[in-house]
Amino acid sequence: MEAMDTTANPHPRKINNSYEDEEERKHFQRIVSAFRYYKPHSLQRVKKTESYLLSLPQHHQKLLSKYREHLQEVKRCIENNDQIIKLIIKDVAHIFENVCPTTAQVDSTLTPRPIMADQEKVQATIKQLVRDWSTEGTEERKACYQPIIDEILYQFPLEHCTPSDVHILVPGAGLGRLAFEIAKRGYTCQGNEFSLFMLFASNFVLNKCRDVNSYQVYPWVHQYMNNLKPEHQTQAVCFPDVSPSLPGITQFSMTAGDFLEVYTEDNHWDCVATCFFIDCANNVVQFIETIYKILKPGGVWINLGPLLYHFSDLPNEESIEPSYDAIRDVILGFGFQLEKEKTQVKTRYAQNVNSMLQCEYNSVYFVCRKPREHIDSVNYTHNESNGAQEQEN
């Protein structure tokens, strides 16, 4: 997928591009179908349990009568989620500023065969609403986004700069909350995302939701395990916790497309902020190289996240999985000066706080700077003392 300006852009920058490419069109249709297939797929899962339950001895069934009622409630939650999904995919043919709606028209007669992995992505998108746009996600955002926002405010103090002159890029923006928070503070901020699951949902939140907590989802309804109480599975979460509308003067945009393909202009950005992103690469070195190139001399890269290499062990996917130590060598090798570094940063990702299973990352946080003076980038020859001297643990 190539660059397309999409959501939340008060002054859309039209990029010459189209959705006419057949592959792209099929991909678009596939994601819409995945959202459409959410309800039958999810209900099928409950029905399987129900029919097994009905096959159990009568006295077992009697003992499980509350559980049977609970499954009714699960079905109600799925129906409700489906109503939100219908809103998310309504008018998606129009979300790209630079794509003729007719070429992205959703063809209801075309129903590509549903892919199971896509259903997990639909469920993950619903959980991402909690992380980015709910009160329940506040703690997670405080741990993941706040250190990045604080560093931006430190690097580009509002009282000493014209924030709209500071250009900040957030690749792998998910549902856009980090980019939104940066733009809200007056900086010119662009989020970039290549997943249509995320783009459809962020378009809904950023461009269609106006009133605080006006919608609700049941994000944990697909978690059949590790529930202490039935209501932990069927708990509703309201969104958005804040109104996503920003004043017209705010410079906030989202682009759709692969970060590596969209951002080809060298020395452009004052800051690149990555959160839970660099491990999404087949080749993480290519991500780091691109970040280095697109930053202005003197520009900063702020990163926070783990190294859950997304392509690792996936069939038909290539992947390298360097440790953080090795990544650090790469960063310094390109010529970055490491200014701050912290390990063991406790972070979570779309976590159900009530679950008996809790997952926590000891993330790494760092801030590094592209030197003001140009470094010959042919071999990115690295002076060992560079960076290490600057490091602040």
Ligand X SMILES: C[S@@+](CC[C@H](N)C(=O)[O-])C[C@H]1O[C@@H](n2cnc3c(N)ncnc32)[C@H](O)[C@@H]1O
Give min distance, CB of 319 to ligand X, in A: 13
| Chosen residue from 194, 215, 252, 269 binding ligand X by CB under 6 A | 194
The radius of gyration computed from the CA coordinates of the chain, to the nearest angstrom, equals: 22
Q: How many CA atoms lie within 13 A of 181 on its CB side?
A: 23
Give min distance, CB of 103 to ligand X, in A: 22
392 to 298, 341, 361, 367: CA distances (angstroms) = 18, 6, 22, 10
Residue 192 touches ligand X, criterion: CB under 6 A = yes
Pair 203, 255: CB distance under 8 Å: no
Where does this chain touch ligand X (CB under 6 A) — which range of 35-43, 155-163, 188-196, 289-297? Answer: 188-196
Q: Which DSSP string corresponds to 84-108?
A: HHHHHHTTGGG--TTS-TTTT---T
Q: Report the residue number, 291 or 332, with the smaller CB distance to ligand X.
A: 291
Token pair 């057949």 is found at 22
Residue 195 touches ligand X, criterion: CB under 6 A = yes
Closest-CB residue for ligand X?
172
Distance in angstroms (rounded) separating the CA atoms of residues 175 and 217: 15
**3-class DSSP state of 126:** helix
Spatial CA neighbour of 197 closest among 23, 311, 9, 28: 28
Q: Report the residue number, 124 or 246, with the smaller CB distance to ligand X.
A: 124
Residue 198 touches ligand X, criterion: CB under 6 A = yes
Residues numbered 273-292 forming contacts with ligand X, rule: CB under 6 A: 275-277, 280
Residues numbered 117-136 forming contacts with ligand X, rule: CB under 6 A: 131
Residue 21 touches ligand X, criterion: CB under 6 A = no
Residue 259 touches ligand X, criterion: CB under 6 A = yes
Tokens representing 46 are 């409950």
Residue 144 touches ligand X, criterion: CB under 6 A = yes
| Chosen residue from 193, 241, 339, 341 binding ligand X by CB under 6 A | 193
| Chosen residue from 137, 172, 219, 299 binding ligand X by CB under 6 A | 172
**Amino acid present at 317:** E
Chain residues binding ligand X by CB under 6 A are 131, 144, 171-174, 192-195, 198, 258-260, 275-277, 280
